[in-house]
Structure 1
Amino acid sequence: MISVDGLTVEMGGSALFADISFVINPKDRIALMGKNGAGKSTMLKILAGVREPSRGRVNVPTDCRVAYLPQHLLVEDGRTVFEETEQAFSHLHDMERRMAELNHQLETRTDYESEEYMAIIEEVSALGEKFYAIEEINYDKAIEQTLLGLGFKRSDFIRQTSEFSGGWRMRIELAKLLLRKPDVLLLDEPTNHLDIESIQWLEDFLVDNNQTVVVISHDRAFVDKITTRTLEIMGGKLYDYKVNYTEYQRLRAERREQQQRAWEEQQKFIAETTEFIERFKGTYSKTNQVQSRVRMLEKLELVEVDEIDTSAIRLKFPPAPRSGNYPVMMSDVAKSYDDKRIISGVNLTIERGDKIAFVGKNGEGKSTLVRCIMKELEHEGDLQIGHNVKIGYFAQNEASVIDENLTVFQTIDDVAEGDIRTKIKDLLGAFMFGGEASNKKVKVLSGGERTRLALLRLLLEPYNLLILDEPTNHLDMKTKEVLKYALQNFDGTLIVVSHDRDFLDGLVDKVYEFGGGKVVEHLEGIYEFMERKKLENLRELEK
C-alpha cells in the first residue's frame, strides 16, 4: 500500500535516522515506537506528506487516502460540534452536488454528439463509480455514535466548538478522521486527551473496522490491544517485528541475548587468532597458516549487538515525615461552577498509605476535587487535611513555577539530597534529559519538557502525600516505568488522576469513580474495576 525506501532525516548535522525502508500493507496495525526524540513524529509527518525527508522517498498510490492526526491541532470556530464533525463527509457531499450538476447538464443540453457532452458523460460515470463504491452511510447516526464513543454528551452536539478546550477539540478532529474511513490512519498520541472509556471505545473501533493504522502512543495497554506489528526507531535504525509491543520487547531481548553470545564467541575467536598471528608471524614453517588467518580476520563480518536502552534506573523517594492516620477527610463536599453542579455529597476518608486512582469521564470533577484538596478552590462541606501532612502536587500547569533562568541540571541539583545527588545525571537521563540536554536553560524547554522536569523535581522532595494529575502525558514508556517503580515503593499516600491503565495496574489499590456528580469508592485495582464495570454495563443493556 505505502512503501518507504531509503528514508534519511538529518537535523543539526547528524542523522535522526538513516536509510530506513519498510512497507505498510493493507490491514496493518502498526505501533511506531521509540524514545522521545528518536524521530517518531517526524516519521509520521513524512508518511502524511507534511514534511520532506533529507533523502529517500515515500510511495503512496494515487487512490490511497491517508488521514493524519497530529499531537497539536485547533478546530476552526464558527460551527457547532455536530456541524464541524459533519465536515468529515464534505467530500461525499461535494461529489453528490457535482453529480447532480452534471446530470442537470445532460438533461438540458442537446449537443449529444459534441466532445463536451461526451466528457460530461465520462465524468458522471467516473464519479458515480467512485461514489457508489462507498458503502451507504447514515450520516447523522454515524456522527452521533462516534461523538458519544469519544465522550461527548448529546447536549454537546449543539454547542459551539469555541466553548471547548484543546483536548476536546482534538476529539472532534479524531471523530472526523474516523468517519472519513481513510485507507491509512496516522495517529500521533491519540489517547492523550481521552478518558479510559473513550480509549476503550477507540480500541474497539479500530480493531472492529480492521483499520490500517500507524500509531504513536505511550499507552502500553492501548498499543497492545490495537496493534499487530511494531516498528521501533532506536539509534537511527528501524526494527520491524510482526507482533504487538509487549511481545516485541520479549523477542528483542531474546535476539539481543543471541547476538551477545555470538559476539562473545567471535571476540574469543578474534583474540585467539590474533594471538596465533603474533606468536608465529616470524616463523617460516607457519607462514601459510599465519597468512591464512590474517585473510580470515580481514574477511570476517563482525557481529553487531543491537543497541539497548539502559535509561530505566530505579528511583526511590527521600524519607519523609510520617503523617497522621487520615491524611484527607471529606464530609458532604460539593462544588459548583455558576449553576452547574460538578460534585456533591462527597464523603470520603483517605487512610495513610492508600494508593488511589481518580477515574471517570473528563469534566466529571476529578481535577476539581484535587484543587479543592489543594485549597485552590472554595467548596461546600467539610474537607480537612490530617496531622503532619506534607503535600506534593503535580498538575500540567505546575511547570510554570520553575525558575526559567536555571539549567535543567541546576533545577534538580537544588532539591536533590543525600545519595540521590550522585545519581542526578542518571535521573535526568531517565527523564529524557541526558547529555547536553541537562545544560539547557529552562526558558528554552518545550511545554512537555518543562512538565517532565517539574515532575522529577517533585519526586525528589520529602512529601508524604503525593497528588498527581495526569503525570504520564509527556512521558515515554521507559520513563513511565521509572515513575511507576518509584511510586510503588513510596511509603506515603498517593492520589493519581490518570487514564493510563497500564500505569495504574499494580500501582493503585483503590479506585474512586467520578460520574453524575458523585464519587464512589471501589476497593480494588484498576483492571478488576474495569472488568466489573464492563459486566455491569452489559447487564444494563440486557434490561
Structure 2
Amino acid sequence: MIRLDNISKHNGKRVIFIEASASLQKGEKIGLVGPNGAGKTTLFRLITKQEEPDEGTVVTDKGLTIGFFSQDVGEMEGRSAVAEVMDGVGEVSTVAAELARLELALADPEQMDQMDAILERFGEVQARFEELGGYALDGKAREVLDGLGFSQEMMDGDVGKLSGGWKMRVALARILLMRPDAMLLDEPSNHLDLESLIWLEQFLANYDGALLMTSHDRAFMNRIINKVIEIDGGNLTSFSGDYEFYEQQRAQNEKQQQAQFERQQAMLAKEIAFIDRFKARASHAAQVQSRVKKLDKIDRVEPPKRRQTLSFEFPPAPRSGDVVATLKGVDKKYGSKVIYEGLDLMIRRQERCCVLGVNGAGKSTLLKLVTGTTEPDAGTVTIGGSVKMGYFAQHAMDLLDGDRTIFETLEDSFPLANQGALRALAGGFGFSGDDIDKPCRVLSGGEKARLVLALMLFDPPNFLVLDEPTNHLDIGTKEMLINALSKYEGTMLFVSHDRHFLAALSNRVLELTPEGLHPYDGGYSEYVARTGREAPGLHA
C-alpha cells in the first residue's frame, strides 16, 4: 500500500533518514517509535507528500485514501462539531451545510417572499442528502463524537467555542468517520480521558484498514499494533509483534551486538599484538602482511548505541503525621452544576490514591480542594500535621517564565543548591549538555512538564498531588517517573488516564460517581478485577 524505498532526508545539517526503507501493508497496524526529534512527524509528512525526500521514493498505491491526524488541527469555527466531522467525507458534507442553511432560511420571516424557491431547493437538496446516505452519516458522526466524550450539546454547538483539546478530538473524529484505506495518527491518545481512550482502542482494533501511529501510551499501543517501526540514527527497523515484544527484541539485539563487538575487539587486539610483535622480523614478513590485509577487509562491528536513560532518585522526604488530609461535609458547585454534596474523605500516610471518574465528575476539583486552590462552599478541608505538599497542576507549565533558561529556572527556585546538584537534577529529567541553556518559551509540552516535575521533586514533599502528570511525557520519561515514584515513601493523590501509570503506583482507588465517592482498597489492577471495567464510564 505504502512503500518508502531508500529515502534520505536532511533538515539543515541534521540527518533524519539515510537510505531508509519500510512499508505499510493492508491489515498492518504499526506503532512508529523512536526518541523525540528522530523524525516521526517528518515520516508522516513524507507519506502525505507535504515534504519530499532528498533521495529515494515514497510510493503509494493508486487510488489509496489516506487519513492523517496531526497535533496541528488548524482553524475551526462557524460550524457545529457534527458538520466539521462530516466535512472529511466529501460531497455529503457540502450538501449537509446547504441543508442547514436552507433550514434556517425556512424559519426566517424576512425571506417569506422567497419561500416557494427555498422550499423547492430544500426538497432537491434533501433528496440528494438522502441519496448520499447523509442521515446515516450524521448518526455515525454522532456515534464517533459520543465515543470521544462529546455531549449532544457540544456536538451541535459552534466548534469555535471548544478548547484546543476538544478541537483535536473533532479532527480525530473526522479521520475516524472517513474510514480511509490507511490512517496515519500522530499521538491520537493525547487529550483523551480514560473512557475515550478505551473507546478509541476498540475502534482501531476493529478497523480493517492499515494503520501507522505514534503514541506515548504503551498500554494503548500494546492492544492495537501488530508491528513496530523504529526510527533511530537515520534508519528504519521493523519488528513483528506488539510494543512489549519490540522492547524485549531490541534489548536482545543490543545484547547480541555487544557480545559480537566484544568478540571482534578481542580478536583484533590479538591480531594487532601479533603484527606489532613480528613486523620488524623478515622471517615473518609474509604472515604479517597477510594479517594486515585480513584486518583491512574485516567488516567492523559497531557497539550498540547507548540510549539516554533517564533516572531520578528521590531524596527521602520528611515524615508526615498519620492523617494527611481530611474532608468533612464538603459541598462544591459551579453555577447550577453540583460537583460534591456532603463529601467525606480521609487520606492516610503512604496511601497512593488514584481518582477515577467520567469527564466532569470532579477529579481535578477534588485535587484543588485538597491543595487549597479552590475553597469548598460548605464543610471543611484539613491538612494533617507536618505535611509538606507538592502540587502538579496542568496550568503550572503556563507559569514558567519564558525568558528564563532551564538552568536559571532551577537556580531561581533553589538559590542555595550547588551547580553540580542542579545539573544532576536537570540530567535526570532529560536536560543534558546545552539543553539547560534553552529559554522556557521554546520548550515543547513534554519538556515543560519535565521541568515542572524537576522543580517539584528536588526538595521532596511528603504529600504529592498530581493532576495528569504524564500528559505530554514520552514513554521513556514516564518509565523514569514511575520508577522514581514507586520508591517514594510519601503519600500520593493523583489523576491520570495512563493505565500503566495507574496500575504501577496506586494502592487505593477513589471512584467518583453521581451517587458520590466510592473508595476501593487495593490499586487500579484490583479495581479492574473487582468491577470488570477499566474506567467508571464503561459498562462491565
The TM-score with structure 2 as length reference comes to 0.86
2:19 partner letter:
D
Q: 1:186 aligns with which of 184, 187, 190?
A: 184
Give the structure 2 partner of residue 365 of structure 1: 362
Describe the shift of the 1:361–1:18 C-alpha distance in structure 2 as closer, same or farther (beyond 3 A).
Answer: farther
Partners of 1:364 and 1:517 within 8 A in 2: no
Give a deviation string over 1:44-86, Cα, whole Å, max 9, x none. Answer: 2222333344443322223111111112324612222333223
2:335 partner letter:
D
Give the structure 2 partner of residue 227 of structure 1: 225
Give the structure 2 partner of residue 349 of structure 1: 346
Give the structure 1 partner of residue 45 of structure 2: 45
Count residues in correspondence. Answer: 506
Displacement of 1:518: 3.0
Displacement of 1:311: 1.9
Give the structure 2 partner of residue 124 of structure 1: none
Give the structure 2 partner of residue 529 of structure 1: 527
Give the structure 1 partner of residue 105 of structure 2: none
* Cα distance in structure 1, aligned partners of 2:151 and 2:207: 24
Partners of 1:41 and 1:216 within 8 A in 2: no
Give the structure 1 partner of residue 399 of structure 2: 401
Partners of 2:353 and 2:494 within 8 A in 1: yes
Q: Which moved more, 1:504-513 or 1:278-287?
A: 278-287
Give the structure 1 partner of residue 510 of structure 2: 512
Give the structure 2 partner of residue 255 of structure 1: 253
Q: Which moved more, 1:304-313 or 1:22-31?
A: 304-313
Does residue 1:333 correspond to 2:330, yes or no?
Answer: yes
Partners of 1:231 and 1:239 within 8 A in 2: yes
Q: 1:141 aligns with which of 136, 139, 142?
A: 139
Q: Secondary structure of the equivalent of 2:90?
A: helix
Give the structure 2 partner of residue 159 of structure 1: 157
Q: Secondary structure of the equivalent of 1:187?
A: strand
**Matches for 1:465-484 after TM superposition, within 5 Å:** 465-484=463-482
* Cα distance in structure 1, aligned partners of 2:529 and 2:447: 35
Give the structure 1 partner of residue 208 of structure 2: 210
Q: Secondary structure of the equivalent of 1:263?
A: helix
Describe the shift of the 1:541–1:15 C-alpha distance in structure 2 as closer, same or farther (beyond 3 A).
Answer: closer
**Matches for 1:50-129 after TM superposition, within 5 Å:** 50-74=50-74, 76-92=76-92
Give a deviation string over 1:234-278, Cα, whole Å, max 9, x none. Answer: 233222111211111111111111111111111111111111111
Q: 2:195 aligns with which of 194, 197, 203?
A: 197
Partners of 1:430 and 1:479 within 8 A in 2: no
**Matches for 1:163-178 after TM superposition, within 5 Å:** 163-178=161-176
Q: Secondary structure of the equivalent of 1:505?
A: helix
Q: Secondary structure of the equivalent of 1:174?
A: helix
2:322 partner letter:
N
Q: 1:428 aligns with which of 421, 426, 430?
A: 426
Partners of 1:504 and 1:526 within 8 A in 2: yes
Displacement of 1:322: 2.1
1:355 partner letter:
R
* Cα distance in structure 2, aligned partners of 1:342 and 1:517: 11
2:293 partner letter:
R
Give the structure 2 partner of residue 127 of structure 1: none
**Matches for 1:263-282 after TM superposition, within 5 Å:** 263-282=261-280
* Cα distance in structure 2, aligned partners of 1:262 and 1:135: 61
Q: Which moved more, 1:521-530 or 1:184-193?
A: 521-530
Give a deviation string over 1:190-232, Cα, whole Å, max 9, x none. Answer: 1111111111111111111233111111101001111111112
Q: Secondary structure of the equivalent of 1:306?
A: coil
Describe the shift of the 1:211–1:357 C-alpha distance in structure 2 as closer, same or farther (beyond 3 A).
Answer: farther
Displacement of 1:459: 1.1
Give the structure 1 partner of residue 103 of structure 2: none
Displacement of 1:419: 10
* Cα distance in structure 2, aligned partners of 1:149 and 1:214: 21
Partners of 2:76 and 2:167 within 8 A in 1: no
Q: Which moved more, 1:239-248 or 1:51-60?
A: 51-60
Describe the shift of the 1:156–1:399 C-alpha distance in structure 2 as closer, same or farther (beyond 3 A).
Answer: closer
Does residue 1:319 correspond to 2:316, yes or no?
Answer: yes
Displacement of 1:20: 1.7
Displacement of 1:541: 7.2
2:58 partner letter:
V
Q: Secondary structure of the equivalent of 1:506?
A: helix
CA RMSD after TM alignment: 2.9
Partners of 2:324 and 2:349 within 8 A in 1: yes
Give a deviation string over 1:146-197, Cα, whole Å, max 9, x none. Answer: 1221122334333332332211221122111111001111111111111111
Give the structure 2 partner of residue 119 of structure 1: none
Describe the shift of the 1:369–1:475 C-alpha distance in structure 2 as closer, same or farther (beyond 3 A).
Answer: same
Displacement of 1:39: 1.9
Give a deviation string over 1:382-436, Cα, whole Å, max 9, x none. Answer: 2222222211111122123334443212333555699996464454344332221
Q: Secondary structure of the equivalent of 1:151?
A: coil
1:11 partner letter:
N
The TM-score with structure 1 as length reference comes to 0.86
Displacement of 1:505: 1.5
* Cα distance in structure 2, aligned partners of 1:406 and 1:506: 35
Give the structure 2 partner of residue 9 of structure 1: 9
1:281 partner letter:
K
Q: Which moved more, 1:178-187 or 1:451-460?
A: 451-460
Q: Secondary structure of the equivalent of 1:327?
A: strand
Describe the shift of the 1:436–1:493 C-alpha distance in structure 2 as closer, same or farther (beyond 3 A).
Answer: same
Describe the shift of the 1:316–1:535 C-alpha distance in structure 2 as closer, same or farther (beyond 3 A).
Answer: closer
2:272 partner letter:
T
Q: Secondary structure of the equivalent of 1:346?
A: strand
Give the structure 1 partner of residue 122 of structure 2: none
Give a deviation string over 1:325-352, Cα, whole Å, max 9, x none. Answer: 2221112223222112233332111111
* Cα distance in structure 1, aligned partners of 2:439 and 2:93: 51
Displacement of 1:298: 0.5
